[in-house]
Amino acid sequence: MSDRPRSKALPGILLSLSALIVGFLLGMWLGSFNVSKADGLAGGAIVLAWGLLGALVLLGGAIALWAAAARRTLWRVLVVLGPLALIVAGLLIAGFLRQQEEGRRQMEEEMRRLKRPTAPAAPLEFLPVSGRAATEGAVVMGLGMARPDLTAPVLHFLNGPDATEASDSLVLEQVAHGSSIAQAPPWFVPAHLKLDYDILLLRVLAVSRSAVEVEVNGPQRMSRWVPRDQVQLLLWPEFLLGVYALEPLDPAGDPLRNKPLDHAAPITLPAEALLHPTVVRGQWMRVTTEGPEGGQVVEGWLRWTDGERLLVRYDLLS
């Protein structure tokens, strides 16, 4: 009775599976060198594509060997490739787990750093919401106002526009009536603070691509940088269009005029008139006036800046 050749199915299947594992993991490893941080979420897809490519290449080689080689040769190759697949898989999985653990550790450390106040809590100085103290007492006009996100847990203070580590922080918490300041540096004196109306405003002094320089203590002329994605930047035209009413600092020198020109005819304002801004054009702002008890409405133009200082005071609330 002649011996029939034994089947190559078992070593062929095991060889193909080993080739798939080794090819996929080695492909992902090679793909990781072609991904930068700038790729963002696309980086994962790139690494996965490399893994699939590696798996297909080695699988094709394994199938070709399966078809051409003798059964004994397949077993000999499998003796080498099988343990190699296990070793490579173990090393790469261990490295992945270490990377995940390191990322988790860094995330926990970052969360602890964000929640940890960098200066002891101190009573905050509440400035008038009318805006008059922030206008008349300001040494520098600035570019506008920055409104922090009151729903965020923390606002970072940086020492420069390119700084990555916070030097101080403002810690916020959510309470029944809205937001509250849990911890703040002792020098923190914002331009406007009235949290029961969700008002927290900081005067903007400079802007970079990633950060905003804000005045954190007007009387001491102290400023800090904050990440740009943590505040809403309101330049003066946009900010003033959102206030309740305006009033010229010098009504005699900067009266309401019928056109946005220095030589245009002045308009006499009704007594106790409120000026509501509607349009900004350069250094001029069109306003509508509303007298007491719904008196006569008058429209005109008011010069709100001379380029170096504000010429108006504003009221945020009615």
pLDDT tens per residue across span 253-290: 888 898 999 888 988 877 777 889 999 999 999 998 87
- pLDDT for 149-176, tens place per residue? 988 888 999 988 888 888 888 988 888 7
pLDDT of residue 39 exceeding 80, the answer is: no
Contacts of 103 (CB under 8 A, 6+ apart): none
Amino acid at site 63: I
- pLDDT for 189-223, tens place per residue? 999 998 888 899 999 999 999 899 999 998 888 99
Q: What is the torsion angle, in degrees rounded to the nearest 10, for the CA atoms of residue 60, residue 61, residue 63 and residue 69? A: 160
- CB 214, CB 121: distance < 8 Å: no
Please give the Cα distance from 304 to 312 (Å, whole number).
6
Percent pLDDT > 70 in the chain is 81
Q: Is the pTM of this model over 0.85?
A: no
**What's the burial of 289, exposed, middle or buried (CB within 10 Å: 0-12/13-18/19+)?**
buried
